[in-house]
Amino acid sequence: AQKVTQAQTEISVVEKEDVTLDCVYETRDTTYYLFWYKQPPSGELVFLIRRNSFDEQNEISGRYSWNFQKSTSSFNFTITASQVVDSAVYFCAPKTGTASKLTFGTGTRLQVTL
């Protein structure tokens, strides 16, 4: 079984601040994938990134960056110079096994204000 913990329930920042969303996961599998999704007020979950367990290189995509630390089972997400449009609920989700499914935690609600 897999489990994910996003300890930050809500974060509020002022525009242009950097913010890091934490994600800690549990799995007994050695091969697995980790995903981040964004859920804006409109409701749909939007795919942000997929990372496999063998690739520990950090990834940067524009203002977004991800820090994968296999030793601590963490896959944290940083938004640099946050913008109001970043306001959403963000979900980290592990996926393991051959007939796998995405397991979601409760997510982190990010509120970016002017």
Partner 1 sequence: ETGVTQTPRHLVMGMTNKKSLKCEQHLGHNAMYWYKQSAKKPLELMFVYNFKEQTENNSVPSRFSPECPNSSHLFLHLHTLQPEDSALYLCASSQDRRRWDGYTFGSGTRLTVV
Q: Which stretch binds partner 1 (CB under 8 A): 18-26, 31-39, 58-66, 71-79?
A: 31-39
Regarding 108 and contact with partner 1 (CB under 8 A), the answer is no
Size of the site for partner 1 (CB under 8 A): 26
> Smallest distance, Å, CB 59 to partner 1?
15
Burial 2-11 (b: 16+ CB within 10 A, else e): bebebeeeeb
Q: How many residues does the chain have?
A: 114
**Least Å from the CB of residue 15 to partner 1:** 26
Check residue 91 for interaction with partner 1 (CB under 8 A): yes
Give the strand order in the sheet containing 88-96: 10-14, 108-113, 88-96, 32-39, 46-52
| CA 22 remoteness from chain centre | 7
Cβ 85 to partner 1, closest distance in Å?
17
**Paired strand residues for 20:** 78
Closest distance of CB 7 from partner 1, Å: 14
Residues 41-60 that bind partner 1 (CB under 8 A): 42-47, 50, 52
DSSP category for residue 71: G
